[in-house]
Structure 1
């Protein structure tokens, strides 16, 4: 662990906003990361960890606390208890896209549709990242983490992380604290070992993205290549020369609404069903069982609707910006708010609030930000 001269967060985040924090530490190994966290907790500092900086929107006022940069890396292959599969244990600071490239090169399937997503492996479960119908929760086995003020790390199975649509119990949601204050040290995934034969793509969202018409197996490198090209066309692959990529990715989450609300939206608004939990088990202790099963609670089905469509049909076009602002909507993707060069957090916030107000006025929905906000108000 090393304490360094604090670096402005605008130099470490893809949205390129944020002042230098009061204190900054770097950790290149797991012991260094644990030591940095425990030292920070003992001081009583406000704190957060920083990986790739791709899902962070930092304010213009210096963060009054400690930022810990997670720079650990490494992939360990482990046997899987399931035939035809392999497990990868990956350090939290490892680049997510480098992990995807590693898996694809070796014929390990299950994360190829998430090619090109920026950030680190440790941040992936926090956000429950996903793309084209594929999410990390489908392959995540467990994480090694350390809870705030804990003596040491523990291993936590994926089912205890509260994984949902772009969320987990570890995520800082706008306006609220996470349910569990902890830092991921490593992540273990269970992937299908397909070799060079490729795999049959079954997810409809991914099939549409790839332009597939039949159900023949396709090579993983081909899938990755097509996904990277699609993301690049939308300005979602980092490129210093392209201001459309100077963003935090999708700034607003696709809205999750009830079927009733979805029916009130225009029919042409893209929507996808949120899969119900068909395996829910009701456990009744024998001591209180009276011989009658309780009446099941019927919940209205939920639907995911396209935030990009809502934004564009509220009159906010690609490339839109407010007068004299250096922040704008991407010219390639309506969900990305971009820094066109020297934009402050205040300018990005102003644009975000304007978009929220237009969508709310037009459709009655309040879009929620997807990045973690530090010293920023919307």
Structure 2
């Protein structure tokens, strides 16, 4: 009955492949086939047009079989995890969306091994509940475990790069499944060789943790202050997780369906790294706008000095809650680095707001902000 329903719902030819090919892949791989699925239901920004065909893969073998078959048939594919770092066009997706839904988590001898589709915060919670330390500062980050090495996710002084032991990948060119170490991933600030490329699919990730129940050394001043600790100290992983969740919730960074400030992709722009030869001009522009002697938050960065994107956005004149035309999209009322859907926003609304903020910072300070989310079918 389900197959008949699918055939009636789908036309003879999708924009990107014959229906029969997609149906055959679903039948042979064991993936669940759905049609005309609004991407707004599957992304934390809650925008995006339909996925004409979506294959849900609930284990690694199904995922590998489905992607291999689609690639062999030359069918365009969009790999979807938790949808927390994705901005999809209102027109939808001209590809088969392969939803990674395997959610296994294994805790073993100082290691946490998570299937790519596991909810990341569930992975962190399980590790902390088991008395393991290291992941607690990454609590509350939405999305899936498989996305964490792609983005080199980080928060409160800890990055995945410092904890990652290895990643299991499907090489889409050869069809080979293999484990690779962090050195093969080109991990940098919120990036890796896996980001903005479709050459490999993350199947699982393995993290090294400690068995003493203590956190990673505290490297973030705000977190250390709330804990009454000095930077570099270690505290109970459970307590650190509790405080991190509280801090993130106060900034609208913990998902809550009732709070439109969390209808976002988290921090929309990365903190810019300004090359050393351009820093004097940027600081001069800041002084010209804000006055001599203003304290500019800055930190060492790869190839230059890292500035705070949120600080620049506010000083360029964008207040919390700043609206796009029509007000369907706004900056978060809690945190200017998040672009939010107030309930009825489109992808176009969010793109317009992103452009306004990006261009405003560029005009004010000569710094170009780069978006963190991956865009599908649209550009900022």
Task: Give the TM-score taking structure 2 as reference length.
Answer: 0.85
In 1, the alpha carbon distance for the partners of 2:96 and 2:53 equals 5
The verdict on how the C-alpha distance between 1:320 and 1:104 changes in structure 2, with shifts beyond 3 A counting, is: same
Contact 2:152 2:190 in 1 (8 A): yes
SS at match of 1:22: strand
Q: CA deviation at 1:212?
A: 3.0
The verdict on how the C-alpha distance between 1:313 and 1:76 changes in structure 2, with shifts beyond 3 A counting, is: same
Contact 1:38 1:149 in 2 (8 A): no
Q: CA deviation at 1:204?
A: 4.2
Confirm or deny that 1:343 pairs with 2:345. yes
- Counterpart position of 1:375: 377
In 1, the alpha carbon distance for the partners of 2:364 and 2:225 equals 29
Contact 2:134 2:209 in 1 (8 A): yes
SS at match of 2:209: strand
- Counterpart position of 2:77: 47
SS at match of 1:170: coil
Unaligned runs of 5+ in 2: 1-30, 287-293
Unaligned runs of 5+ in 1: 80-85, 173-177, 276-300
147-156 or 248-257, which deviates more: 147-156
Higher helix share: 2
Aligned counterparts, 1:212-227, within 5 A? 212-214=228-230, 217-227=234-244
Aligned equivalent of 1:143, options 167, 170, 188: 167
The verdict on how the C-alpha distance between 1:5 and 1:200 changes in structure 2, with shifts beyond 3 A counting, is: closer
Aligned equivalent of 2:204, options 186, 193, 200: 186
SS at match of 1:203: coil
Contact 1:57 1:372 in 2 (8 A): yes
SS at match of 2:67: helix
In 2, the alpha carbon distance for the partners of 1:189 and 1:304 equals 27
Task: Give the TM-score taking structure 1 as reference length.
Answer: 0.86
Contact 2:134 2:216 in 1 (8 A): no
Q: CA deviation at 1:206?
A: 6.1
Contact 2:117 2:146 in 1 (8 A): yes
Confirm or deny that 1:9 pairs with 2:9. no
257-266 or 367-376, which deviates more: 257-266
- 1:215-270 CA deviation, whole Å, 9 max, x = no partner? 76421111001000000000001111100000000111100112343343245221
Q: CA deviation at 1:271?
A: 1.3
Number of corresponding residues: 339
- 1:266-315 CA deviation, whole Å, 9 max, x = no partner? 4522111126xxxxxxxxxxxxxxxxxxxxxxxxx522110000100000
SS at match of 1:269: coil
- 1:53-79 CA deviation, whole Å, 9 max, x = no partner? 000000011211110011101122333
Q: CA deviation at 1:208?
A: 4.0
Aligned counterparts, 1:11-90, within 5 A? 11-79=41-109, 86-90=110-114
The verdict on how the C-alpha distance between 1:365 and 1:90 changes in structure 2, with shifts beyond 3 A counting, is: same
Aligned counterparts, 1:168-179, within 5 A? 168-172=192-196, 178=197
SS at match of 2:65: helix
Structure with more contact order per residue of length (Cα contacts < 8 Å, sep ≥ 6): 1
- 1:117-165 CA deviation, whole Å, 9 max, x = no partner? 0000000000000001100110101111101142331111111000000
- Counterpart position of 2:357: 355
